[in-house]
Structure 1
Amino acid sequence: MSDRLKTVGETLIDLLEANGVDTVFGIPGVHTVELYRGLAASRIRHITPRHEQGAGFMADGYARVSGKPGVCLVITGPGLTNIITPMAQAYQDSVPMLVISGVNARATLGHGRGRLHELPDQQAMIATLALMSHTLHDPNDLASVMERAFAILRSGRPGPVHIEIPTDVMVLTIELPHLHRPAVSRPRADATAMAEAASLCLEARRPVILVGGGGVAAGADIRALAERLDAPLVTTTNARGAFARHPLSVPASPSLVAVRRLLAEADLVLAFGTQMGQTDYDMYATNDFPVLGNLIRIDIDATQLARGPQATLSLLSSAENAAADLLDAVKPGQPRPRNGAQRAEATRSEALAEMTPKIRVEIGILEIIRDTLPGVIIVGDSTQAVYAGNLYYEAGRPNGWFNAATGYGALGYGPPAAVGAAIADPQAPVVCLTGDGGLQFTLAEIGSARDAGANVIFLVWNNDGYGEIETYMVENGIEPEGVKPTAPDFLKIAEAYGLPSKRLAHVDELPAALTAMRRVDGPSLIEIHQLNTIGATA
C-alpha cells in the first residue's frame, strides 16, 4: 500500500496522534479490530479495562488530571451502551471525553434484521448526552470530523463527543490527510463588559469569589485577583485544592450555612466556571440558597449563563481569559476591600463547626491521607468519607480531589477513574477512596490497575453495605431494606490479583500503611472498617 494510502482505521490512529493523544482505553472486539490495525505501531498506549464502563471512567480520571481529552474505543451495541454511564458523568461534570465506536455496515443500518450488536438507531440514542455524535458514512470525511470533534473538546464547555464508524468504512483506504493539530480559540468577553466587571470589583467592599471546576485551569490568575481584591475564595467540589491552604481559601460547600452567610453578606460575588447546581449549592434540597445581590457570572457556555441564579452581569468567556483580563484591569495598589482573610477564616471555622463529630472524624482521615502523601490525588466513589470531604476538605493540589458523589453520581466510578488518574500522572500518589458496596460495582478494575502498573492505593472504607443509604432510610422512618450486600474478603481479592494488602485494626495505623504502600511499584489495597475510625482526631 502507498505511504499516502491507509485504511480509515490506520488513519484514525494517525489523527489521534496528531492531536496529542497518548493513551486510549478500550476492549477490542470484532466491530473495532480494524481501528486497532495501526495502534501497535503508534506511540499511543492502550489500556484494557475489564468492562467498557471502566474504560469511560478511566478516561474521565485521565482527563481531569492530564487536562487532555480521555479517548475510548468501544464496540457497537453493548460496548457503547456500557459506556453511557461514564459519558453521562462526563457530561454533568464537563469532562472532555472522545468515544469512538463501531457500528454495523452502512447498508444494514435502520433495517432491524438482527445483526450482531444491532441497535435501532445507535447514533440517535447517544446524541442525547453527547456534545456531538456523528456517523462516518464517507471515509473521506474522517479528517474534518476529527477536527470538529477536537475543536468542540478544546474550545467550549467540555463533555463527551462520539464518533461511530461503520465496519465497512473502517477497512476502506483513503489518502492520508495533512496531519496537524488545528488551532482553537476560547471565548473572551468584550472589552466593554470586562471594564464594567472591573469597575464592580473595585467598588466592592465585601467581595467573594466562587470557583467551580471550570475555573481550576485559571487558578494562578484567580488567586492573584483574589489577593488584589482581598476576596475569600470559595471552591466547589471539583475545584478543591486550586488554592490549597491559602489564607483566602474556603474549601467548604456552598450548601453549608456558614458559606451561605458569607455569600449573603457579600456586596459582590464573582463566579468562575461553576454550574451552580444542586449537588454543590443545595445538596440538602432546602431550596433556601440566598439571593445574591450583585453576581458577576463567568462561564464558557452561553446556555449555562441563562440557568441558575440571576446575574447582574453575565460574561461569556473562558475562566482563563476572564481572569487574565480582570487581573489586567484591577491594578495593584488600587483601593481594595478589607478583612478578606479574616472573613475566610471565620467562615472556615464556622463551617467546620457545623459538621457532626462523625463527619469531622472523616474529614480528619482525609487530612491524614493528604499530609502523609504530599501531592496526593484522592479519587472518590460515593461513600460516607467522600460525602464528608465534599462538605469540607482542602485538597493539597489542583485536581487533587474529585469523585462521583456530585452531578450524575455513579457508583463504581472511583476505582477505574483512579487508574486513569495514575496513568495521567504516574509520579503522583493516587488514593482511590471507595466503599465496600461501591467497589463491588467495578471490583475487576483492580486487575486492570495491575495490568497497567498503575500506582493506586485502593482504600476500602468498609461500613458493611450501603451505609449512607441505610442512614437516610432510618432518618426518614423507612425500614432499611436492600442495603446489606455481602462483600468478599477484599484482602483475598487483592491476593488473587497479586496486590499487597493490609486490613487496619485502627485508623492510627493509616499513616504507616499509606507510607508502606506508596513504596509499592503498582497497585495495592488497604481496608479499614468504619467502626475502627472511632476515636480518630478530626
Structure 2
Amino acid sequence: MGTVAEPVSRGADDGLLTGGQALVRALRAHGVTQVFGIPGTHNLEIYRHLPAYGIAHVTPRHEQGAGYAADGYARVTGRPGVVLTTTGPALLNAAAAVGEAYADSVPLLVVSPGMPLGHPRPATGALHEMRSQTDALRGIAAFSHRASSVAEIDAAVARAFTLFRTRRPRPAHIEVPLDRLAAAQAPGPVRRASSTARPTPAPEAVRRAVTVLCGARRPALVLGGAAVGARAQCRHALAELLGAPVVTTAAGKGTVAETHPLSPGVSLHSPAVQKWLATRDVVLAVGTELSESDFWTVPPPLDGTLVRVDLDPDQMYAGAVVDVPLVADARLTLEAPLTDLPDDGHARVPEFAGNACTRVAGLSGNAHTRVADDVAALRAARDAETAARDAETAARDARWIPYLRAIREVPAADAVVTSDSAQCCYYGALPHFPVGPEGRYLHPTGFGTLGYALPAAIRAEVAAPHRQVLALSGDGGLQFTVQELASAAQLRLPLPIVVFDDGGYGETRDEMRARGDVPTAVDLAPVDLPALARAYGGHGTRACDPAALARALTEALDRPGPTLITVPEETP
C-alpha cells in the first residue's frame, strides 16, 4: 500500500495523533479511498481528518442507505465498503445493511463512536446512549470490536481487513469510545492486515473431485456468489467440457451467460429444477449454502454425490451431507484441475467460442466427454429445463416478462443492475432477465431486505462510472429508501430507476389471500413517484407499455441525474 502521509492533527499536540486521526490513517493504509455516512455530533473527530488523507465521502440521506451503498460498492469493485455512523440510532439504522452483508458474504466495515470508556453502566440520559452497541452488532456482524485505546484502533482495522482478505467476507463493526476519539498519543507504525493468501485446495482433494466428475453420467453445477470471481474457469473448464448444466443462485446470477446452452439461469426455486437436480448423480456446488434462501423452500434432498467448494469450513457441516469437501477459494479450486494435475489429454466442445484450446486433465476419452460433444443435445436439454421451469409460473410472471424484455434491449451487456426484494425482481428479473459474465446483477438474497436497489445503484455507478447502471424495484420497497433520490440527484449521474407499482406490498397481499385471509395493511395510498423524483431534483415519467419503457430508459441513460420510471400494475 505504501506509506501514508502524516498531516498535522488539529486538536492534538504537535507530533501526536488523536483516535480519530489514527482511525482515518489506518483506513487509508488499507487502501480505503471512499466512505459512506452522515456526520453527527459524536463522529466529527473522524470527519476532520478525511480530506487530509484523501478519502472521499458520499452523504446518503439515511444510514440504511449508506449501508446499502457501501454494499453495492463492495460487490462491484471487490473492495470492502466502509460506513461511518454516529452513535446509537445512526448505528442501528445501518443494522439492516449489516445483516444483508452477512447473509450475502459482502465485505462491509461499519465504524461508529461509542460511549466513553468510563461511562457508568446505569443509564445517565447521555445523547444517543445505548446499553451496548457492541452487543447489538455482535449478533449480526462477524465481529464487533470496542477499542480500549488509541493504539488499539489500527489493530482493529487490520483485524477487519484480515478477515476480508483471508476468510469468507463478512461485515465487521469497530466502536471507538468518544474519549478515545479525542485522546492523543505519539504515533507508531500503522498495523496492516495480514497478506496471507486464501487457502488453495489440497491436491488429493482436487484429484478425488475430478475423478468423481469424470465418472459422472448426469452431472450438474450449482454456482453461488463465490463463483463470480471464477467465471471463465466455471464456464470453460467445467460446464462446457463436462457437459454439465449450470444452475445459479441469485448471488451467482450471470456467472455463466444465461443465454448459454448449458444454463437454465437462476432456477433453484423452481420445483421442476429441484426435481431435476435430485436426479443428478454428481452435483458440484461452488460458493453456495444450498439453503432455504436459495431454494425458497426447505432444501430438497440430493441423492447424488455432492462435491462442495467453499471458503467457509462450517459449510461442510451445514445442510446436505458433503461427500467431497474442498475448503478453499473458489477461483483457485476451479483452476486447480488445469494446473495441478498431469496433462494426459484435452477435451473440446465445438460451437463454444473461445475455448478450442481449453484443457482439463483426465477428462478426454470418457463417456461423459462424448456427451459433451453433442451440443445439440445439450441445448435441447437446457431448453427443456427452462421451459419446465417457466411453465410452472407462466401466468404469474406474464405481467413482467414483456417489460423485462424491453429493459434488456436497452443497456449495454456490461451494465450493472440492482434489484430489490420485490415480486418484479425475484419472480420477474431473476429468472427472466438474462445476464452474462460481463454484466452484474446485485440482489439482496439471504436477508431479503427491502430498499436495497436505489442506494446500491448509486454507489455502483460512482464505483464504475464507465458502466451503465439501472435499478429495479417495487413501490413498497422503494419507499424504504426513496430519500436517496436526493443523493442521486446531487451526484448528477445517469440512473434509471424502474418501479413496478402495484399499490402496496404485493407478496404479502398474495400470501394473505392464499391463506384465505382478508388482505390487511398491505394496500398503500397512491404516491406520485415521478413527481417525487422531480421534487428531489431528478426526473420522472410513466411507462404504460414495454415500448414506452424502452424509450424512457434510453433517454434516462443519457440524462444526468436519476430518472424514476413507474410501470403501473393492476392490483390483482
Q: Which amino acid aligns with 1:383?
A: A
Aligned to 2:442: 402
Q: Secondary structure at the match of 2:275?
A: helix
Deviation at 1:402, TM superposition (A): 2.4
**Structure 1 contact 153–161 (Cα < 8 Å) conserved:** no
**Structure 2 contact 158–192 (Cα < 8 Å) conserved:** no
Are the structure 2 counterparts of residues 255 and 504 from structure 1 closer, same or farther at C-alpha, using a change threshold of 3 Å? closer
Deviation at 1:7, TM superposition (A): 2.2
1:303 aligns with 2:295: no
**Structure 1 contact 252–351 (Cα < 8 Å) conserved:** no
Q: How does 1:212-251 map to 2 (within 5 A)?
A: 212-225=224-237, 226-244=239-257, 245-251=259-265
Q: Which amino acid aligns with 2:327?
A: L
1:525 aligns with 2:564: yes
1:6 aligns with 2:33: no
In 2, Cα distance between equivalents of 1:117 and 1:248: 54
Residue 174 of structure 2: which of 163, 171, 189 is its match?
Answer: 163
Count of aligned pairs between the two proteins: 529
Q: How does 1:323-334 map to 2 (within 5 A)?
A: 323-328=334-339, 329=341, 330-331=360-361, 333-334=364-365
More moved, 463-472 vs 22-31? 463-472
1:253 aligns with 2:267: yes
1:487 aligns with 2:526: yes
- String of CA shifts for 1:88-144, please: whole Å, max 9, x gaps: 111111111000011021111534222211111211221111112111111112222
In 2, Cα distance between equivalents of 1:148 and 1:454: 35
In 1, Cα distance between equivalents of 2:223 and 2:14: 49
In 1, Cα distance between equivalents of 2:182 and 2:241: 58
Aligned to 1:59: 70
- String of CA shifts for 1:321-358, please: whole Å, max 9, x gaps: 21111333442645344154443232122222222234
Q: Which amino acid aligns with 1:479?
A: V
**Structure 2 contact 494–556 (Cα < 8 Å) conserved:** no
Are the structure 2 counterparts of residues 288 and 81 from structure 1 closer, same or farther at C-alpha, using a change threshold of 3 Å? closer
**Structure 1 contact 422–454 (Cα < 8 Å) conserved:** yes
Aligned to 2:99: 88
In 2, Cα distance between equivalents of 1:97 and 1:423: 17
Q: How does 1:470-509 map to 2 (within 5 A)?
A: 470-509=509-548
Are the structure 2 counterparts of residues 4 and 526 from structure 1 closer, same or farther at C-alpha, using a change threshold of 3 Å? same
Residue 134 of structure 1: which of 124, 138, 145 is its match?
Answer: 145
Aligned to 2:490: 451
Deviation at 1:299, TM superposition (A): 0.9
Percent identity of paired positions between Structure 1 and Structure 2: 36
Q: Which amino acid aligns with 1:11?
A: A
In 2, Cα distance between equivalents of 1:510 and 1:518: 12
**Structure 1 contact 31–104 (Cα < 8 Å) conserved:** no
- String of CA shifts for 1:443-487, please: whole Å, max 9, x gaps: 111101112334321111111111222122112211011011213
**Structure 1 contact 63–96 (Cα < 8 Å) conserved:** yes
In 2, Cα distance between equivalents of 1:220 and 1:3: 53
Q: Which amino acid aligns with 2:464?
A: D
**Structure 2 contact 495–556 (Cα < 8 Å) conserved:** no
Q: Which amino acid aligns with 1:196?
A: R
Q: Secondary structure at the match of 1:31?
A: helix
**Structure 1 contact 376–429 (Cα < 8 Å) conserved:** yes
1:264 aligns with 2:290: no
RMSD: 2.1
Deviation at 1:370, TM superposition (A): 2.2
In 2, Cα distance between equivalents of 1:288 and 1:301: 19
Deviation at 1:30, TM superposition (A): 1.3
**How high is the TM-score relative to the length of structure 2?**
0.88
Q: Which amino acid aligns with 2:556?
A: M
Q: Which amino acid aligns with 1:456?
A: L
In 2, Cα distance between equivalents of 1:61 and 1:253: 23
Q: Secondary structure at the match of 1:153?
A: helix
Deviation at 1:386, TM superposition (A): 0.6
